[in-house]
Structure 1
Amino acid sequence: MTLSLRLPDGTGGLQSYQLTGTPVAHGTYQPATSRLAFAAAHVVSDPLADNSPGAPAVIDWEHTLGFRRHLWSLGLSVAEAMDTAQRGMGLDWPATQELIRRSAAEAPLRPTSPGSGAAEKQIAVGVGTDHLAAGVHGLDAVIAAYEEQLALAEEVGAQPILMASRALCASAGSPDDYRKVYDRLLGQSTRPVVLHWLGSMFDPALDGYWGSDSLDTAADVVVDLINENAGKVDGIKISLLDASKEIALRKRLPAGVRLYTGDDFNYPELIRGDGEHHSDALLGIFAAIAPAAAAALKALDDGELTKYDEIFAPTVPLARQIFSAPTYYYKTGIAFLAWLNGHQPGFGMVGGLQTGRSLPHLADTFRLADAAGVLTSPELAVDRFRRLLVVGGVDA
């Protein structure tokens, strides 16, 4: 069956496009054994609610949780209530609390080998300070805000991810201020946490995080913090879109502390590793390419490196498109693909963020998703995108 439609060509015109990709086979997978892999999941807005900019978030729970079940069925763990779920861009704290409780209640246990200890849930949750008003706060207020959210993560039995904080970035005057906050939180946590370093391309309000505009100086601060609290740090997730900076930091981590790549441009090589070091994964792009990610990780487990490379290679242009500048609108692309693949009934987002990308941008995303084999039901994807184009004034 030939599937085609007319798409914006980026020059103000239309061009006929015929789908050519073969969807990656969708199977059921066990969690990978060679790497830990988290997909940072988005939220589905309630189409009958007022999810306009500035309004309280109203979530479609059926499809939001259904998408998480989809990720778990592929052997992926879920990174919940992260920036992919629009923390600080439409998802408010009341909705975040309910999201964490509902998702953690459904999270399956990660299989363990005999003698490895108690099984853990396949979920980690974002712990931040986003319920504080914008602006400068005293460090004790920042700590208290973190503590409130940390208590919720521990209550639901999920691994905490100490998210980079806009409030801390606005309030800290030096690296010592960051150390004060993180030392206090790490001392209180009852289990090892994941630290979180989000670059300013993802959130301009985090520019200069860790107390320096120099990434190398900031890395020194992070390494010192981890070395002095290694027993309380499971790993650090960094999203700088710079493979060389990640590799350099990875080499400096103490034994047993993981580097979770958040590099949505260079993830295949970083996860594959160099034979001595590798990165685990905590990625928003994994939500968009979940079947491919699961198949690639299975190939890695089986030692089939050529197959691993072949599966991931066509997903990289798609990832670079979704995360292109302004990078913080990547969430729109994640929701767009979830809608095309039938995981949600409409292309809507809390805060009205579905308007964050243009029709030409989405058309390029569509082409690259086809080439990557991640349009799992091509007929549905064509039908849905054609209807969106028509609403936008395009005769598709």
Structure 2
Amino acid sequence: MTDLTLLSGDGALRRVPLVDTSGYTRPDGPLRSRVAYAAAHVVPKTHADNTPGQPADIDWDATLDFRRNVYSWGLGVADAMDTAQRNMGLDAAATRELISRSAEVAREEGGSVAVGVNTDHIDEERISLDEVVSAYLEQLHFTEEQGAGPVLMASRHLARVAESAADYRRVYDAVLSRATAPVVLHWLGTAFDPQLAGYFGATDWQTASAVLLEVIEANVDKVAGVKMSLLDAASEVSVRERLPESVRMFTGDDFNYVGLIGGADVPDAPQPTRDPASARQHSDALLGAFAALTPVASAAIQALDAGDPARYLEVLAPTEALSRQVFAAPTFYYKTGVAFLAWLNGHQPAFQMVGGLHSARSLPHLSRIVELANDAKAFERPELAAERWNGMLRLNGLDA
């Protein structure tokens, strides 16, 4: 089997054997023990003007085929979220088309799709609280018309204008009261978007989480779940244990998902502090990482379905180091790693991203992703991955 050439930060090259990844099989039906969504990226046309500030020109065949592949592994798709480069290259017109097309594919495939609802179609940087509500509602109603499940994302507009926790409660109460079905709330941390500092009215998660829980308790019939993306397992568990029974916790923690998803079903998994008496013993998943390693994530949850926690750990635990590399600081550039792995795995014809974001990571950073993906058995077609990566090195003047 072909070797992989790896590049270190000092320019040194070394070769490692390519790992065989055969053995993962698609499930016969839906995954049962956990609800899991892969937050999917978008693929631009290779010949498009994929440079900063240009409108997104999407390769719809490759973009939608990626979603069909996710469904074939039993996972749902979370679309038009930060992984799809919201506020980082995906403009408002492309976002609307993505939501519409993705919802149609979900109906065709019998899959579950949840999509991001935000205020980012408004060009003005600063708007009033009432205008924030109106902007949210415009996207919410469009999403509902498409038949997709809404994920109410954190709004930069709200973060700029809100002066207190009461302002957050006011806006969320107004939006949720107009939702026709329960939504998922998304709490995105500053590692992903520094412009969201102080969201829910506080910079410390303990105070902010109290506001979030107040919003949920006041609108419990309109909230299906919470996606937490703070990269802090203890904060997620703390909120998880205080959620109403009808509200799911979807982990967005791409650093600590193995223990959070495994929970009490996997006692050997790394566990953050939790109350063993709590009815909430695990998180479900809505992760950008699962777009990068869909077959592995599916195999791990299939192991839980089969009552085999040891197999769950064997399959999924090695991927956490890979995810931590993909999501390394500056974390908001993790989308580059997701698209890079999609290209290595044959899900897009070129390593291109809207807004020129394919240039956001260095070759040594990408090399480390290659090394860890090989170790974690995350290459769906190892020979193709090696061919593409080694060719990329040669293109950059390195003898692979």
Moved more, 271-280 or 196-205: 271-280
Amino acid at match of 1:11: D
Matches within 5 A, 1:1-396: 1=1, 3-23=2-22, 25-108=24-107, 122-133=112-123, 135-274=125-264, 276=279, 277-396=281-400
Offset at 1:12? 2.5
Q: For 1:392 and 1:132, locate their aligned partners in 2 and report how far apart those are by CA, in whole Å.
A: 40
CA contact (8 A) 1:21 1:372 kept: no
Q: Number of residues paired by the alignment?
A: 386
Q: For 1:257 and 1:371, locate their aligned partners in 2 and report how far apart those are by CA, in whole Å.
A: 36
Moved more, 340-349 or 131-140: 131-140
Percent identity between the two aligned chains: 54
Q: For 2:336 and 2:23, locate their aligned partners in 1 and report how far apart those are by CA, in whole Å.
A: 22
CA contact (8 A) 2:337 2:366 kept: yes
RMSD across aligned C-alpha pairs, in angstroms? Answer: 1.4
Offset at 1:164? 0.5
Q: For 1:360 and 1:23, locate their aligned partners in 2 and report how far apart those are by CA, in whole Å.
A: 27
Residue by residue, what CA displacement relative to the aligned partner does 1:298-340 show, whole Å, maximum 9, x if unpaired?
Answer: 1111111111111101111101110110000100000000000
Offset at 1:18? 2.4
Structure 1: stretches of 5+ with no match in the other structure? 112-120
SS at match of 1:246: helix
CA contact (8 A) 1:21 1:371 kept: no
SS at match of 1:344: coil
Q: For 2:246 and 2:80, locate their aligned partners in 1 and report how far apart those are by CA, in whole Å.
A: 25
Q: For 1:167 and 1:21, locate their aligned partners in 2 and report how far apart those are by CA, in whole Å.
A: 47
CA contact (8 A) 1:30 1:74 kept: no
TM-score normalised by L of structure 1? 0.95
CA contact (8 A) 2:19 2:382 kept: no
Q: For 1:147 and 1:271, locate their aligned partners in 2 and report how far apart those are by CA, in whole Å.
A: 32
SS at match of 2:285: strand
CA contact (8 A) 2:68 2:109 kept: no
Q: Report the equivalent of 2:271.
A: none
Offset at 1:69? 0.2
Q: For 1:191 and 1:5, locate their aligned partners in 2 and report how far apart those are by CA, in whole Å.
A: 49
Q: For 1:64 and 1:100, locate their aligned partners in 2 and report how far apart those are by CA, in whole Å.
A: 12
SS at match of 2:62: helix
User: CA, structure 1 residues 159+384, in 2 after alignment: closer, same or farther (shift >3 Å)?
Assistant: same
Offset at 1:24? 5.1
Q: For 2:373 and 2:107, locate their aligned partners in 1 and report how far apart those are by CA, in whole Å.
A: 29
SS at match of 1:278: coil
SS at match of 2:87: coil
User: CA, structure 1 residues 122+281, in 2 after alignment: closer, same or farther (shift >3 Å)?
Assistant: same
CA contact (8 A) 1:203 1:328 kept: yes
CA contact (8 A) 2:71 2:109 kept: no
Offset at 1:49? 1.2
Q: For 2:88 and 2:365, locate their aligned partners in 1 and report how far apart those are by CA, in whole Å.
A: 20
SS at match of 1:27: coil
Q: For 1:20 and 1:279, locate their aligned partners in 2 and report how far apart those are by CA, in whole Å.
A: 30
CA contact (8 A) 2:39 2:81 kept: yes
Amino acid at match of 2:284: D
Offset at 1:155? 0.3
SS at match of 1:34: coil
CA contact (8 A) 2:115 2:150 kept: yes
Q: For 1:27 and 1:228, locate their aligned partners in 2 and report how far apart those are by CA, in whole Å.
A: 40
Offset at 1:152? 1.1
Residue by residue, what CA displacement relative to the aligned partner does 1:108-147 show, whole Å, maximum 9, x if unpaired?
Answer: 4898xxxxxxxxx500110001112252210111111111
Q: For 1:395 and 1:167, locate their aligned partners in 2 and report how far apart those are by CA, in whole Å.
A: 48
Offset at 1:26? 4.1
